[in-house]
Structure 1
Amino acid sequence: MHFGMTDEQRMIVETTRAFVEAELYPHEALVERTGHLPMELIREIQSKAMAAGLYAANMPEEVGGAGLDTLSWLLYERELGRANYALHWTCVARPSNILLAGTEAQRQKYLYPCLRGETWDCLAMTEPGAGSDLRGMQASARQDGSDWVLNGTKHFISHADIASFTIAFMATGEEDTPRGKKKKITAFFVDKGTPGFTLREGYRNVSHRGYSNAILDFDDCRVPAENILGEVHKGFEVANDWLGATRLQVAATCLGRADRALDLAVRYAAERRQFGQAIGKFQGVSFKLADMAMELKAAELLTWEAGWKFDQGSVTEADMAMAKLKASEVLAMVADEAIQIHGGMGLMDDLPLERIWRDARVERIWEGTSEIQRHIISRQLLRPHES
């Protein structure tokens, strides 16, 4: 494994960071204070991102994306992660690669408009009574002739307000397993405006202001069989095949924010003077900086290794779980210590630290809680010893 960046990767990092600093940072205060990302601003930044070659860069070249390998994509994600989440996710969109699992007709209708920036996608899995336990979902679909009828509620659905469709995961049956009955899941494309499909405003969130969530209700919502993504009862297989790297994406964006917080802390410790010297000279501060840098480096190495192994075809669920777990928990630690070093000013919204601190909290919950990640890691350790 080579630890240095290639010339291409270095260019990706430099281009993305320059874009983030010039086009995203200036709008952070507006989004943070209003909790709203105006569509005119989205379109303005979106156009610039497309011109810079940064839009939908996660997608393969054959469909119009940048065709980045996983490690290069994660380096790109880290740079975007430095900015307010709503700004980088909405304006420099990376359509879900689950759309690549669709038929050519489905790609024409759903994937390519996302790549062109005409709309956004959203995935509907989580329910009020089924978070980490997706097999416990109550929302269901039953076949009625050549159609399927969907019923149930999904919540915490990111950017559903601006998406023109959702990919809804619904229980479509049960099967017997050694551990009892297990629900079969099917994924459906559901267009906004379909009768029986209603979108409600979601919850106010302490993290990621401007990045919306919604509640989706399905009440005898009828969709044709051609709207099935993948195969009937194979929704989990589709998700597992195409969504595996999303935990690495979370890890990478966490690294970007942690790096920004550490940089602010180092600068402040070098410039702020108390008792006749820079506060960075005091062991109480200098040791914090050392620990922050060490933990961040460890998180980076776990993430980059997992990305490299992903491309080699040797990555495991535990590799990705370790990266997500470490990066999200390091972000929380670095953000907290950076505020401590800044003292009272760290909590003021003149600096991005209080935002980074707030935003860090959700990272240990979505895309699998820290407890779920530890379960995945320990399960892999114990599996060879099971009888």
Structure 2
Amino acid sequence: MDFELTAEQELLNQTAREFCEKELIPHEGLLEKTNELPRELELDIRRKAMTVGLHACNMPESVGGAGLDCVSLTLVAKGLSRASLALAESVRRPCNILTACEGEQVTHFLDPVMRGEKRECIAMSEPDAGSDLKAMKTRAVKDGSDWVINGTKHFIANVRLCEFVILFAVTGEDQTPVGTRKRISCFLVDLDAPGLEVANGYEQMGHRGYHNNILRFDDVRVGGWQMVGAEGEGFKVASDWLGGPGRLTIAAVCQARAERAFEVAADCAAQRRQFGQPIGKFQGVSFPLADMAIDIRLGDLLLMNTAWRVDQNFPTVIEDGAMAKVWCSEMLGRVADQAIQTCGGMGLMADLPLERIYRDARFERIWEGTSEIQRHIISRQLMRERGV
């Protein structure tokens, strides 16, 4: 197999990593101290990302994006994700659901996003419907040519930096041989729409400056033109996004942070001296470093192989993405923990990025589908292949 990157991919990797080191990582201290990403800083990062060609690089050329393949996008995600999430997310890679925009949706939502003038958030999770999207209660009821929306969404990321929301809501029910099936549809809703309240979310253990919010819809009226795709196709739209780009991006984030944590730990092991020699000479330190290096190498191989399989249109993209997310998210937890152990007391101090990486790592096994959900997806496919 050929694992060599093309010259363009090498350049993308270098560009993303250098942008991260120069424009993102220097602001991590501000996020940790204030738990806020200033609006002007977010916009400045967005403008600079547009200058170097990183803005909307995941979008197809037909809408003004770079049209990068999945391997290239994964390299970009890895390069940027060495920094805190709020900073990395300022380099906008819009949700690919927006590529389904048509007519007025293009001029009102898609085009401004591509120009860097608007930012979207995604609203699926509800207080009583997390991994089980079919249990959602938010409803949109037809009223003439409009839809009227009522319900509550939570865990919605960085709403206060956005102008509109990609909303999933129930628009009807069908009776099937196995019971009632909800029809879920996708809408694009301006956040200043009458009846839409943006409330503060929950205090969280990590990801400083990357806040969650609660959205409450009270008779929010949207035009029929604001529905993405056909009525009842929202679940397919969500599954396509989560199964491919969403979960693979999470895996890339985890891989990048694991590599950064390992570099800090390895440098510490080489530089810190105890009993007259570098601590990396002791097996109690060096053997765990070897295990970390193996874990990271395996994660990188799985991540890049999955991205390659996406580009080759393999039929098991959803299961492949689930495998990559499970391994990389759980591997990050192990590596972050051992990196702190290697650095000892200093690993717990804010002078090093390890305590932040350790806190943030715990998120990755939960959002975009928990590890348990990913294992369900993988095992279900294994049984399908055997006719079960």
TM-score range, shorter chain: over 0.9
Residue equivalent to 1:8: 8
Partner of 1:374: 375
* Other structure's SS at 1:231 match: coil
8 Å Cα contact 2:121/2:162 also seen in 1: yes
Aligned to 1:181, what secondary structure does the other structure show? strand
CA contact (8 A) 1:101 1:242 kept: no
Query: Could you list the runs of 5+ residues in structure 2 that have no partner in the other structure?
Result: none
Per-residue CA shift, 1:288-321, capped at 9, x if unaligned? 1111111111111111111111111105121110
Query: How many residues are treated as equivalent by the alignment?
Result: 386
Q: Map of 1:67-146 to 2, 5 A cutoff?
A: 67-90=67-90, 92-146=91-145
In the alignment, the residues of structure 1 paired with residue 128 and residue 163 of structure 2 have an alpha-carbon distance, to the nearest angstrom, of: 26
Distance 1:101 1:63 in 2: 10
Q: Deviations over 1:161-204 (max 9, x none)?
A: 12111111111112233432221101111112211111111112
Partner of 1:308: 308
Contact 1:202 1:214 (C-alpha < 8 Å) held by counterparts: yes
- 1:356 and 2:357 equivalent? yes
Please give the alpha-carbon distance, in whole angstroms, between the structure 1 residues aligned to 2:359 and 2:376.
25
Judge conservation of contact 2:140–2:148 (CA < 8 Å) in 1. yes
**Alignment pair present for 1:58 and 2:63:** no
Q: Does 1:205 align with 2:204?
A: yes
Deviation at 1:44, TM superposition (A): 2.0
Paired residue type of 1:253: V
State which drifts further: 41-50 or 225-234.
Answer: 41-50
Q: Secondary structure at the match of 1:248?
A: helix
- Runs of 4+ that moved beyond 4 A: none
* Residue in 2 that maps onto 1:327: 328
Partner of 1:260: 260
**Would the aligned equivalents of 1:119 and 1:162 in 2 still touch at CA under 8 Å?**
no
Q: Please give the residue correspondences for 1:199-348 in structure 2 after superposition, counting only pairs within 5 Å.
A: 199-243=198-242, 244-316=244-316, 317-348=318-349
The CA deviation string for residues 230-281 of structure 1, in whole angstroms up to 9 with x for no partner, is 1111111222334432100110111111100011111110111111111111
Q: Structure 1: which amino acid aligns with 2:15?
A: T
Q: TM-score, normalised by structure 1?
A: 0.97
Taking the aligned partners of 1:104 and 1:289, their CA distance within structure 2 comes to 55
**Quick one: distance in 2 between partners of 1:206 and 1:80?**
22
Q: Which runs of 5+ in 1 are unaligned?
A: none
Q: TM-score, normalised by structure 2?
A: 0.97
AA at the equivalent of 2:354: L
Q: Deviations over 1:86-123 (max 9, x none)?
A: 01102x11111100011142122111211211121011
Question: 1:86 & 1:102 partners in 2: Cα distance?
Answer: 26
Q: CA deviation at 1:385?
A: 3.3
Query: Which position in structure 1 is the counterpart of 2:27?
Result: 27
Q: Give the structure 2 partner of residue 164 of structure 1.
A: 163
* Letter in structure 2 aligned against 1:87: L
**How far apart, in 2, do the equivalents of 1:189 and 1:64 lie?**
20
Structure 2 CA distance for partners of 1:245 and 1:315, relative to 1, 3 Å? farther
Q: Kindly state the Cα deviation for residue 207 of structure 1 after the two structures are TM-superposed.
A: 2.0
Is the contact made by 2:118 and 2:163 (CA closer than 8 Å) also made in structure 1?
A: yes
CA RMSD of aligned residues (A): 1.2
Note the alpha carbon deviations across 1:14-73, whole angstroms, 9 max, x for none.
Answer: 111111111111110001111001112112222221111111111122222222110010
> What amino acid sits opposite 1:234 in the alignment?
E
Q: Partner letter of residue 46 of structure 2?
A: Q
- Given that 2:104 and 2:225 are in contact with CA atoms closer than 8 Å, whether structure 1 keeps it comes out as no
Letter in 2 for 1:370: S
CA contact (8 A) 1:171 1:185 kept: yes
SS at match of 2:159: coil
Distance apart, 1:284 and its partner CA: 1.0
Counterpart of 2:372 in 1: which secondary structure?
helix
Amino acid at match of 2:128: G
Distance 2:2 2:112 in 1: 37
Larger deviation: 289-298 or 312-321? 312-321
SS of residue in 1 equivalent to 2:301: helix
Distance 1:370 1:177 in 2: 30
Q: Which moved more, 1:180-189 or 1:361-370?
A: 180-189
